[in-house]
Structure formats: structure tokens, C-alpha cells
Amino acid sequence: MSQNIVQKIITSHLVAGRPIPGEEVAIRIDQTLTQDATGTMAYLQLEAMDIPRVRTELSVSYVDHNTLQNGFENADDHRFLQDIAAKYGIIFSRAGNGICHQVHLERFAAPGKTILGSDSHTPTAGGVGALGIGAGGLEVAVAMAGGPLYLIMPEVVRVNLKGKLPPWVSAKDVILEVLRRLSVKGGVGKIIEYGGEGVKTLSVPERATITNMGAELGATSSIFPSDEVTLAFLRSVGREKDWVELQPDPDANYSQVIEIDLSTLEPMVARPHSPDNVAKVREVGPIKVDQVAIGSCTNSSYTDLMRVAAILKGKVVHPDVSLVISPGSRQVFRMLAANGALADLIDAGARILECACGPCIGMGQAPPSGGVSVRTFNRNFQGRSGTADALVYLASPEVAAATALRGVLTDPRELGEAPVVTMPERFPVDDKMLIFPPADGTKVEVRRGPNIKPLPKAQPLAGRITAQVLLKLGDNITTDHISPAGAKYLPLRSNIPALAEHAFEGVDPTFASRAKKAGSGILVGGQNYGQGSSREHAALCPMYLGVKAVIAKSFARIHRSNLINFGILPLTFVDGNAYEQIEQEDILEIDLQDGFAAETLTVYNTTKGTSFQVRHDLTTRQQEIIRAGGLLNYTRERN
């Protein structure tokens, strides 16, 4: 039977189930990655599983999010992560070594491998033909303990690329065009597989930009073939032995085929406050800009920053613009320093930040009040930048650099001839900032700071849920809405009681106090509830505050899994009109005495004397997890 690339990888890693769209499958995970904002909790969960060493082929712990050390909390977390890595056989990437997805692409990701990461942009690895999937930290901990990843087998969508990108148009414009067509919820339940003759014109870093931002589609993953371009990249970083060819069979089937002629694309921009609010730069117009930020796991590769340096060389950033640049990895940073490009950036007035996520997650460099910021990042959710009323636009490095020079949103084609940057035949490989674990970690002492608190315990599901609607929310509620990002909040990721005080803070500052007073609660949401980050804290904090169920029109994949993993029941409306009839503070009752035998459950609104139907769509395994009070309890019961 002919197969596409996704089917080939999943079939070769299949542990249980049938790889038929809509059915649950379990797949073996080859590699895992964590970062420090989600990793501390993941490793606390790994400790609770009581295994001596990780059982994956490779696991890496990165420090790239919480690198702003304005208190002891982040430094304590980094020390804890380094100790845990040594004890459990995990490679530790020190602060300053780079952003997890950029470094993993350079050093570890390989064609045909399955990679599970506690970060939603793990699909970046699809740039080399690996199947990268983002998940909550608990699922990553289970994978490190040797367990499979369970997921609903996605549909596979083929994006057929033909032609070649014209000058000044880049990979960022390709994924913005896909987002324009499909929207932030158009990839839910799907994996995007790229193919066609146009693929050969894209380098691995360009492919990785596209697969990285595929997370904003809501897609499970995105992937490119492994071909001669992939081989050239792996050879350039000294990993030729990792290459295998990976192509779909000529007559492979797809649920949908999308055609994109690269030669017809032009510079694009995502307007506030959603990555799919896309238009052509020339149509948006020359709006005044206060800040430009270049970097993130989407656009911080060597070739990205070399193009920026070429555009800025011999010029000076507009006096009304603050330009900040974050190299994606130490390798990229060193190369820019060695070839003089770093001096060109500095001479132009750029402020060089460390090799970390930085402003992308609100870790510094907030725009001014009401300011306009053009960023090469992947998300522009309201308030994510650190300034609630800022207007954030997402664009390519070329658009960002041209904008920094002109002081207004600028189509880079106005600058004249485009710079030509080529991939080097060899990258200087330097792994000094990677700490490899000892052969025996049994004698390693794990040091814990006072901000690292024990895991909150979820309770088994009761036979009846009777609770108040604590919040009624609209469409596209993000994990940033639920558990905020930024320098104020990220140091609390190891301390759920403290972090929970800020749950839904930007939506309703009284939420945490009301939830604690109520003792239990239900949340009601619209379409695509929980889009964005993989952070399980957006489920952990509501669970800690007593939330028992979330009823929404639809859920983002990772967040729905996280809710289940922490014992919160995710339900969807059978009739969307029922959403309109619910008000905040209504008392809802869900009778679960018969369990989940029926596909639908009845919810009684005792305040209004009405009822409505909801679907649970839980697999048998997920039902057992919910009954146990979450995945950790479920796993303990079976060990």
C-alpha cells in the first residue's frame, strides 16, 4: 500500500492502534526535548515515575526561555535542571547555547525520527524530515520513561510547492500565505506535508521556518521530505551519517491538496492580534513603527541574520525605531562575529540580545505604550509582548530590516537589489555548551530552590459535577490568556500555587480569588479554546483552582490533551446555540453516574432550568485517565 511521509514514520513507530485518521494510535518516541519554562514541571513528573534513567534514544534539556535572572527563581530552576539531566541521562544545553529548536535542528534532529517536545514549536524539526510534535510536559515525561505517545491519527494535508521564491520574498511569506488560507484553526487534527518541485529550492533553515510556524495552524506537525538538500545540510553540520532519504510514494494519498506557486508570492505581514490576520505588506501601508525585533525559533538562523546584516550594512536604524536582534544559537552568533556581519549589525544601531527566546515570550523588550512592533516571531497575541495595548505585526527578516531603516512598515522590494546569501558548505561545530550526562547518575544530588514546589495532586472524577460557570469566554482563547507569559510570570512556572494566582489575569483579575471561594468551577469557551503554547500550566493552574470541566465549541489539540492529563473534562457543544444561553455564574450539573457509555452527556443549567447536550469524544484510555484524576495517577496505578 502506498504511503505518504507521515504514514511511513508513524507506521514504523506504531505501538498500538491503526493509523487511520480519527482513530487513536500509540507511537514510539525516539527523542525528547524540554525547555526551562516547561521542563522543571516535566522533570518533577519524571521523578514521580520512579525510573533510574530515561529510556529514549536521546533526550535534551534546554535553557532558553527564563534566562532573565532578576531574582533567584530562574537560576535555581537552571541548577535543578542541570542536576536532573545528570541523574537521568539527559543532555543539558546551558543558557546561552541557543533556542531549543534551532540547536536541536543543528545538532540532533534527523530524518524519520519521532521527536516529542514540551514546546509547541517542536515541529521545527520537520525541516529535516523528522516528525516533531509538541505536547505537555507530562506526556514528554511519560515518553522519557519509555511510554508511547497516544494521539488521534491526524489527516495528512499535502501543500504542493512549485516555482521559486522571487527576490525579497522568503520562507516566512510561505507560511503566512498558508495561514492566510487555512486560519489558526485550519490545521487542527492534521499534519501538513510539503512536497512538489518547489521544495528543492528551499534550504533546511527555510523549511524549518515553515514547519515551525505551522504550529500556529493548530496542526499536529508539519514536515518536509528528506532529500539531497537535507543531506547537504546534515553534511555541513558534521552529521551526514544521520541522513536517510524520505519521500512519499508516487501515488500516496492525502485528505487535501493545496497548491502554492512560490513565484507568485510577495512580502506578507500578519496584523494584530492573530498570526492568520495576513495581508500583503504593500496593502497594509507605511504605518509608523516604534520597534523591530528579529529572532525567535522561527527566524534566527545564520542565513536569516546574514540577510539582515547585508540589508543594514553601511546604514543606520531610523531614529524613531529600537531594533533588537537575537541570534538563534551560539553557533550562529560565533559565525556572525567571525565574518564581520555582527559588526555590521552593531554599526547600524542594532541592540544584540543573547541567544534565547527573549522578546518572543515577553521576556524583556516590551514595546512602548500603544506602540507598533514588527517582529519576525510566530505569535502576536494581544499582550504577549509585555505591553497590553501594543500592536504587533509578524513579518520576515527582510521586511523587518527594511522597516527598521525606514521607520515605517516597508516592502523590502523598495530597497532595490536583494542581497544574496548562500548556505556555507561547513558550519563550525562547537558543543562546549552542551553537558553530556555521566554513565551513572545514581550519586548525583538534585538541588531544589525554595520556589520549586511539589506537584499539585488531582482528584479522581466524581460521579456528578455541580459547579458554577466561573468564566464565559469567546473564540481563540490562547494559553497566554489562561496562564500568562512574560518576565513577571515565567519564574513562577515551578510554583503552581503562586502561578495560579495569575490565571486569566488579563481577562478577569478576580478569577483566581473567585475560583478559590467557589471551591470548584466550570469554564465555557468558543472555537479553538486553548490555542498557542504547549504549556501544561494552562491546565495545571485551573485544576489547582478547582476547575472540573471546560465546555467549548472546539479545542486546540495540545490543550485538550493537557486538560485530560490533569483530570479536567473537555466537552464540546452538540448545538452551538446552547453556548448563547449560558451566562457567567450559572450553576451547571453534569451527571456522570453512567460514565461515558453514551457519546453525549446532558448538562443541566439549574440556574435557568434548561439543559443541553455535549460530546466528550474521549477514547477508552482517555476515559480511564479522567476517572483516575489525570495521567500521572493513571500511570501510577499501572506501575
183 is annotated as an active-site residue = no
Residue 197 C-beta-side C-alpha neighbours within 13 Å: 5
Assign 3-state DSSP to the chain and report helix, strand, coil percentages, each to 5.
35, 20, 45
Which residue type does 331 have? Answer: Q
64 is annotated as an active-site residue = yes
The residue to which cell 498500538 is assigned: 16
Alpha-carbon distance of 175 to 216, in angstroms, equals 10
Alpha-carbon distance of 204 to 105, in angstroms, equals 9
Helices 72-88 and 36-48 cross at an angle (nearest 10°) of 50
Virtual torsion, Cα 357, 363, 365, 367, nearest 10 deg: 110
Q: How many residues does the chain have?
A: 639
367: cell is 514595546
- Taking Cα atoms as reference points, which of 365, 284, 361, 446 lies closest to residue 120? 361
Buried b (16+ CB within 10 A) or exposed e, 226-255: bbebbbebbbbbebeebbeebebeeebebe
101 is annotated as an active-site residue = no
Residue 45 near residue 632 (C-beta atoms within 8 A): yes
Active-site annotation holder among 101, 271, 379, 481:
379
Which residue type does 83 have? Answer: D
Burial (0-12, 13-18, 19+ Cβ within 10 Å), 637? exposed
Active-site annotation holder among 13, 53, 65, 307:
65
Residue 240 C-beta-side C-alpha neighbours within 13 Å: 8
Active-site annotation holder among 104, 107, 535, 616:
535
Q: Is the dihedral of CA 620, 622, 627, 633 positive or negative?
A: positive
From the CB of residue 65, how many other CB atoms can be counted at a distance below 10 Å? 26
318 is annotated as an active-site residue = no
- What element of type H or E holds 257? strand 256-261
- What element of type H or E holds 10? helix 5-12
Active-site annotation holder among 30, 64, 76, 83:
64
559 is annotated as an active-site residue = no
Most distant CA atoms of the chain, gap in Å: 73
What are the C-alpha distances in Å from 69 to residues 24, 73, 293, 557? Answer: 42, 8, 21, 32
Active-site annotation holder among 93, 300, 533, 534:
533
Buried b (16+ CB within 10 A) or exposed e, 436-453: ebeeebeebebebbebbe
Active-site annotation holder among 36, 77, 83, 119:
119
535 is annotated as an active-site residue = yes
Catalytic residues: 64-65, 119, 379, 533, 535
